[in-house]
Structure 1
Amino acid sequence: MVGRKLKLILTICFLLVCVYLVWNPQPKLFVPNRGGSSNAKRTEISFGSSVLNEGGNARNTWVSLSVCWSKNTEFLHKQHFPYKLATKLNTRLWHMKTFVSTVVFVIYDVKDKFNVELRRYVLDLQHIGNKVILVPTLPNMSCSLQSQLQRLFAFKQDFIRSTDLVVTSDVDAFVMDFNIFKPLEENYRVWIFQYKRFVQSGGTMPMTFIAMTADDWKNVIGVNSPTDLVSANGNLLKSASQWFYDQTFISYANLKSKLCFVPWIHPLWKIVKLDPLRYDFNDSGTCFHGGLKYHDCTYMRTHQPGGCTWWHFYPHERSDSLYKAFYRISELANKTSSPAVVD
């Protein structure tokens, strides 16, 4: 009798394990080779754009995003900002009405490698339609800094072709105008959507949004990893705040490549430690200069000339603010294709 009961209990336990595995599939941890791109097969959904290259062939447009899963940054009081939620809502908006693809780098602490919540988070992102790349934290770099720099290296992924366009963005930047990337149809080498804003402010080039082909990203950056980037540019970055390493470096790289320029009196030349060109250089054939319409909208600034193109959040905002903006943008997107305004 005891043996029969034990057998019954074991059978029930086996069935419960089977049910759990069916209803709770575990995502495969994908860790890219730090020395090069991985050949691992990927099965996530992606939606390619119809932008044509010079040869008339269609090329995909990828929005490159990165989030630190294990810990928020403490810079600018952002330690409590819901970045993980922002990433989900951000990418849902991209896939709702646009034809871009999205690649999301999820940076995690090695202690979280088998964390069930991390695996569920990855599945959620994949179900939205993202390519998700899990990257463990580096020994001598903070998770937040690695997250900021990792998105610059999307060109290394084997599913991104050399002619594809890669656009950097922030996870707390919610697209509102679903024709925002119309300028990508024009024949430039670099697109700096907030060009006029940063030229007027005297700062560095904002990461939201900068676009180049994957091949140009590779050539302009010139290194293979966030670690290499920091070590090779110590003199450039030593006077910059870590929060602005990415913007400082990409500003330096773009000016050095001579694809984009700023006026010779602009402070950026001094920031990136380059000698200014003392004449007006014409980069109209290589660099898209985005106007003020690409300035962000926020709850403090709800309108832009021509309508808002994207929505940004302040560090003190929380999940309720993200959901409010997301549902309002979604509602307007279903009613019209024109730029949205969130009241």
Structure 2
Amino acid sequence: MSWSAISEALSARISALYPASKVHTRIRYIREPAESPEFIEAYSSADGTRRIDCWQITRTGGKRVLSEQGARYRVQHEAKIHHHRSVLDCDCESSEDDFQAEIDAVLTDLINGDRTLSDVCITLSDAEAQDIGHAMLAEQVLCHYGSISVTIEELEASPTSETLDLMMSGIWRPIGNALLAWLEPQLSGLLPALVSCDWDSGASKAPSMPLDPRTECPRVLLRYEPEIQVDLLTNKGEYDVGRGALWVQLRQPIGDSHHERLVAYADAVAAPFFGQQRPDGLQAVGVEFMQITSIVYHDPLEHPLGEAALRVSTAEIQFEIKVRRYP
């Protein structure tokens, strides 16, 4: 996506609330007199009253942060929405009430409405109203004025990313592939339905936050701990013993008994491993023995913008695996 698409989506949200308002995806500065057609067209309500009623959207900052997975960037745009409305009488009583109600309505819509802006972004921060008072519009007309600040996050592909083939020793990659190929069909009946069952692509030893928990969870990620693996070049024994984990990640619904759901989901992922020496199909890649040793529950992961609906919990299913040197 882009800032252009985001600003258009914000404009559409405001226009849906106030169809008669003029909404611009940039700051406009009209030098013509307030009575001129150009000024009226830019700032006045479309209801024929010629009162000032306009919203102007701009970006005040932004940053790009490489995600934990290393393949994409989190791009955060700092947006500011300016609102001007005519002062209609000496004590501003009626126009003040209307103006404050409009600020509150847009603020509430951004907080409680669709935070993806119709799939244009990942999420929004909680919007904040600022600078409420009076201001001159284009240095000509005194107006009620206020602004709304919000941070908007989208994703952007990274130009380069490392692959697991460069990090994983030759013996473990086919074992992991075989394990995932066996496990995924075993989990086809899970509810909510599993989104993915794959290698973890991050470099952290701790569970990482999904870039978009709405579309990426639930998921199961396979990971080995490199420092625990036996070095194939120096070990003279017949077997290698490795340790790894399956990270089970669920998005936390607001107000739900989430820990019970996470425990049940992790138990369902672990269930196919019990009652057998090794999963079917792993003998062909040299696996002699595989055993789950423990299930650890991690603290919830918070989304960078703090949206409660994107909080993610992780259960770590730890295992040991014994592999013949030459399958």
TM-score under structure 2 normalisation?
A: 0.24
Return the structure number with greater strand share.
2
Return the structure number with greater helix share.
1
